Amino acid sequence: MTAAVRMKLLVTGGAGYIGSVCAARLVGAGHEVVVLDNLCTGHADAIPAGCRFVPGEVAEAGPLLAEGFDGVLHFAARSLVGESMTDPQRYWWGNVVASVRLLDAMTEHGIGRLVFSSTAATYGEPQSVPITEDDATRPTNPYGATKLAIDHAITSYAAAHGLAAVSLRYFNVGGAFDRHGERHTVETHLIPLVLQVALGQRDKITIFGDDWPTADGTCIRDYIHVTDLADAHELALESAQPGCHRVYNLGNGEGFSVREVIETCREVTGHPIPAEVAGRRPGDPAVLIASSERARADLGWKPERAELSVIVADAWDFARRKV
């Protein structure tokens, strides 16, 4: 995408997986990008070429914002569900307090445009699928609760201070772009873990339960390519309207079971990928599938790399490069 208007943008969390892909695409579209990241989970070498890097905390972004920006894309966050259950203060301080301070600094310095990384975890156990933006939000863990709290804060700042804001609720993000892919120190996500088996870095993949109420008994998720997600951020940034906070789900609208994901990884890698079934992981809903109709209708968004095999193939190319 080429930007209609060149903007100066702050990308918080631009050294992380999704933030670095979005920052790279924003630079490619012609924007001026500054990355703010404390590198607690991100990697300095993931920060895209062409970005200015400012090491630091989101909660202390005020002096940086004082130099003037057209908008902020806020990715920096704690995002491990299990950790959020045992260490909630890290999530309430690191996600909610830091984000409110960011909103205050944006208000103080007249920065009127925000795109926020929200999550399907704000919905909790769905009443029905596909999940729409009008469905009930009842998060089942502190991670989802903190992201939802930030969404509420954004709504009120938009109404009171004229902020033009969009929250994007990601479903299961996968794939890679250029040299930017998933490499968490503590890896919990299915696709990178399965690919670690194919790389010989672990013996087998553990399937968390095969007694779910689904066709093959394993959980179903909606996988979306990180570059399609990045495209949605650019469209959201351009379409945001002052005084308005809009929320969009981002997924492909199609679900794949854990077994189907493992099978696709076998096909892509040519590795047998041994799997064993263990008990359910606490907090997992059986099925999460997004309705992204609103993003398609309002933003004109259309995923280009929707097939699971493409998502896995791009993740595999990235995983092999890192070895």
Q: Is 223 a catalytic residue?
A: no
Active-site position among 17, 143, 157, 248? 143
Report, in angstroms and rounded to the nearest whole number, the Rg of the chain calculated over CA atoms.
19
Closest distance to ligand UDP from the beta carbon of 156 (Å): 27
Nearer to ligand UDP, 149 or 207 (CB): 207
Give the nearer residue to ligand UDP in terms of CB position, either 66 or 278. Answer: 278
- Measured from the CB atom, the residue of 20 and 84 that comes closer to ligand UDP is 84
The C-alpha atoms of residue 195 and residue 261 are separated, in whole angstroms, by 11
What are the φ/ψ torsions at residue 316 (nearest 5 degrees)?
A: -65, -45
Q: Least CB distance from residue 315 to ligand UDP, whole Å? A: 11
Least Å distance between CB 228 and ligand UDP? 17
> Across the strands, what pairs with 160?
none
Q: Determine the 3-state secondary structure of 260 from DSSP.
A: helix
Closest residue to ligand UDP in the complex (CB): 219
Buried b (16+ CB within 10 A) or exposed e, 251-290: bbbebbbbbbbbbbbbebbebebebeeeeeeebbbbbbbb
For ligand UDP, the closer of residues 28 and 126 by Cβ is 126
Closest separation in Å from C-beta 221 to ligand UDP? 5
Question: Which residues of this chain interact with ligand UDP, rule CB under 6 A?
Answer: 172, 188-190, 193, 205-208, 219, 221, 258, 281, 284
Taking the C-alpha atoms of residue 77 and residue 36, their distance in angstroms, rounded to an integer, is 12
Catalytic positions: 143
